[in-house]
Amino acid sequence: MNILEKIKTNYSASTNEMTVAAYLEECKKNPKVYAKPAERILDAIGEPEMLDTRQDPVLSRIFSNKKIKIYPAFKDFYGMESTIEQIVSYFRHSAQGLEEKKQILYLMGPVGGGKSSLAEKLKHLMQQHPIYVLKAGEEVSPVFESPLGLFADYTEELEEEYNIPSRYVPSCMSPWASKRLREFDGDINRFKVIKLFPSIQEQIAISKTEPGDENNQDISTLVGKVDIRKLAEFQQSDPDAYSYTGGLCLANQGLLEFVEMFKAPIKVLNPLLTATQEKNYKGTEPIGAIPFDGIIMAHSNESEWAKFLNDKKNEAFLDRIYKVQVPYCLRVSEEIKIYEKLIRESSLREAPCAPKTIELLAEFSVMSRLKEPENSSIYSKMRVYNGETLRETDPNAKSLQEYRDDAGINEGMQGISTRFAFKILSKVFNFDSEEIAANPVHLLYVLEQEVIKMMLPPETETKYLHLIKSVLASKYAEFISDEIQKAYIESYSSYGQNIFEKYVIYADHWMQNNDYRDPDSGEIFDRSILNAELEKIEKPAGISNPKDFRAEVTNFTLRYKANHGGENPRWDSYEKIKNVIEKKIFTNTEDLLPVVSFTAKSNEEDEKKHRDFTKRMKDRGYTDKQIRILVDWFMRVRKTMA
């Protein structure tokens, strides 16, 4: 079935309609028919996958070897395990009939932190399972009420005959249903029950409310108001003269999203109190109470929450809120996944992105959100938060728990937003008029310019510029130096092989306490000379126990030759000696500058070496233009790296 046929099928599908008696029999057989919104959304979220973090060294450090729950429904929300678990706990407790069923789910976090995305995800999940709505004639209940509302005064009989617990019965029927029941002389069989799927587009059991003008906004945005077009036909107090267009009316049996809730005047929020506590609310006209059996989800930023929290008049409201903090992501690896997802969803997905570009941006974003640690560097703290262990490289680094205890619960509520970071990335990709591509050099430049344009407080601006110029630039200088040198040495594989083979021969003779005669020069190397030659290779790599290292490399080579017909292994086939040889070669960077630079070459041999180097860099993920830009940048900063 193609897409056109699917759309036609969905719109032409027959409506599921049944009698009230048939509905009650269905309830008796299947409790999901009368399930509460929290139960339906829990079912849509699905069972979590249990992840034992002890099996992963990185995750074990981040989550202290605990077993954590991973919900496939939220697989695209990176670094939000704790936040998602709190949200799911709210629905779980609400489904169990606990206090949460009477509370507003409130997401509080900084701008661009993911609150709206979480809200949208929950609304989409709410669409997965159907609701059953009362219908009279051809008219569906305007507040999408449950047929069980007809039995609000007969909960004991309902439970006895159909096994429907009383907590599933709405507190009352709507004024609309009450009027029809009177017209039907109490004959409930004249009602019908229709099966509907909640819909964001059609505003069926899902609604969205936003604060309006403080001066003229009233409660009608939530509870509806009289429809003046019907006053010629009905009295003002008649339920049919009422327009059930408020957020609470439309979101019954579903979910109401209240955007920036605390920007609305408190008088506008008052209907939420009765809707959550009593499961009904009053309209603006003298009609009966309107039932509400749904979830109210609100979100705003921290400043709006703090302002509302500090007003003593709001205590009753605050007691009815289930607050979930939605901080920025504080793990670089997860922040990278967010950017990669955003890029995949744009036309930039095919554009070249040089290695380290996205990682540098993620590092800057995360460091901007971290509280500055005492007696430790913020870069080390960022790495520890990412699950790395720094015991051997940074003695001042603290444990992850120490950093968290020192930072407090509000860490991650300030800093650079993901939204701002992606705008930076967009400018970097479009920085060069000739090539849509991104590289770290352009990223560092654009970041610096945008931070200055933000006109931040002097202390914050100084911090951000320090992160860009001192921390990120120096770390990238080390990285690109390593990249260039590796591409350089890989084009001289015979050079690395010669050093390797010479090292193995020297080490073998040193281990056997034998002199070595150089076959080319005839020179004899005694044990002290052999040791000196070996140290020339080992010292740049910081080998602390040369005796064990020499034995290890020699044994590896002998085993390899025994298994491969006497053939020597490649110099880069064993990671430990490969790193040592690279360090030895890289100690003299002046040798590579004439080859990697884009100046005119004096001979064909240098030109060939340069072509080999360029090819190696392209194999590593760089475009021709990026190679030129990054090499020029490396040439400028290499002196500061010495």
For residue 233, give the CATH number of its domain.
3.40.50.300
Please indicate, yes or no, whether residues 302 and 354 belong to a single structural domain of this protein. Answer: no
Per-residue pLDDT, 187:
92
Mean pLDDT of 146-151: 94
pLDDT > 90: percent of the chain: 56
Mean pLDDT of 432-450: 93
**Does the residue 608 lie in any domain?**
yes
For the purposes of burial, counting CB atoms within 10 Å of the CB of 4, is it exposed (0-12), middle (13-18) or buried (19 or more)? exposed
**Does the residue 4 lie in any domain?**
no
Task: Collect all residues with Cβ–Cβ distance below 8 Å to 62 and sequence separation of at least 6.
Answer: 53, 331, 385, 386, 387, 400
CA distance 259 to 547: 67
How does residue 7 score in pLDDT terms, banded at 50, 70 and 90? low
Residues forming beta bridges with residue 525, ordered by sequence position: 516
What backbone torsions phi and psi does residue 567 show, to the nearest 5 degrees? -80, 140
Please indicate, yes or no, whether residues 448 and 533 belong to a single structural domain of this protein. Answer: no
**Does the residue 7 lie in any domain?**
no
Asked whether the predicted pLDDT for residue 640 surpasses 80, the reply is no
Mean pLDDT of 248-261: 93
Please indicate, yes or no, whether residues 470 and 513 belong to a single structural domain of this protein. Answer: no
CA distance 81 to 50: 12
Please indicate, yes or no, whether residues 96 and 170 belong to a single structural domain of this protein. Answer: yes
Asked whether the predicted pLDDT for residue 638 surpasses 80, the reply is no
- Which one is predicted more confidently, 293 or 640? 293
Please indicate, yes or no, whether residues 96 and 177 belong to a single structural domain of this protein. Answer: yes
Containing structural domain, residue 21? 12-325
Asked whether the predicted pLDDT for residue 227 surpasses 80, the reply is yes
Pairing assessment for the beta strands 131-136 and 516-517 based on DSSP bridges: unpaired
Asked whether the predicted pLDDT for residue 499 surpasses 90, the reply is no
Please indicate, yes or no, whether residues 516 and 474 belong to a single structural domain of this protein. Answer: no
Last residue within a domain, chosen from 325, 347, 374: 325
pLDDT digits (tens, 9 = 90+) for 311-335: 888 888 888 899 999 999 999 999 9
Taking each helix axis from N to C end, the angle separating 527-538 and 546-563, rounded to the nearest 10 degrees, works out to 90
CA distance 245 to 225: 8
Number of domains forming the structure of the chain: 3
| Mean of all residue pLDDT scores within the chain | 88
Mean pLDDT of 568-574: 83
| Ramachandran area for residue 137 (φ above 0: left; ψ -120 to 50: alpha; else beta) | left
pLDDT digits (tens, 9 = 90+) for 357-405: 999 999 999 999 999 998 889 999 999 999 998 877 788 889 999 999 9
Mean pLDDT of 210-215: 68
CA distance 78 to 58: 16
Q: Which amino acid is at 612?
A: D
Asked whether the predicted pLDDT for residue 310 surpasses 80, the reply is yes
**Does the residue 333 lie in any domain?**
no
- Residue 188 in 3-state DSSP? helix
Last residue within a domain, chosen from 456, 478, 500: 478
**Does the residue 334 lie in any domain?**
no
How does residue 434 score in pLDDT terms, banded at 50, 70 and 90? confident
Mean pLDDT of 54-59: 90
Mean pLDDT of 209-213: 76
Helices (H), ranges, 64-145: 81-95, 115-126
Please indicate, yes or no, whether residues 193 and 282 belong to a single structural domain of this protein. Answer: yes
Helices (H), ranges, 279-430: 302-309, 315-318, 332-344, 357-369, 378-385, 400-407, 418-429
Please indicate, yes or no, whether residues 29 and 169 belong to a single structural domain of this protein. Answer: yes
pLDDT > 70: percent of the chain: 95
**Does the residue 573 lie in any domain?**
yes
Mean pLDDT of 214-219: 66
Please indicate, yes or no, whether residues 610 and 493 belong to a single structural domain of this protein. Answer: yes
Please indicate, yes or no, whether residues 347 and 282 belong to a single structural domain of this protein. Answer: no
**Does the residue 330 lie in any domain?**
no
Please indicate, yes or no, whether residues 379 and 284 belong to a single structural domain of this protein. Answer: no
CB of 330 within 8 A of CB of 411? yes
CA distance 140 to 157: 26
- Residue 387 in 3-state DSSP? coil
**Does the residue 556 lie in any domain?**
yes
Last residue within a domain, chosen from 301, 325, 349: 325
CA distance 206 to 341: 27
Exposure on the CB side of residue 439, measured as CA atoms within 13 A: 21
CB of 222 within 8 A of CB of 247? yes
For the purposes of burial, counting CB atoms within 10 Å of the CB of 264, is it exposed (0-12), middle (13-18) or buried (19 or more)? buried
Per-residue pLDDT, 14:
46
Asked whether the predicted pLDDT for residue 11 surpasses 90, the reply is no
Q: Residue 103 gets which letter from DSSP?
A: S
CA distance 633 to 625: 12
pLDDT digits (tens, 9 = 90+) for 509-528: 998 888 888 887 778 888 88
Please indicate, yes or no, whether residues 233 and 362 belong to a single structural domain of this protein. Answer: no
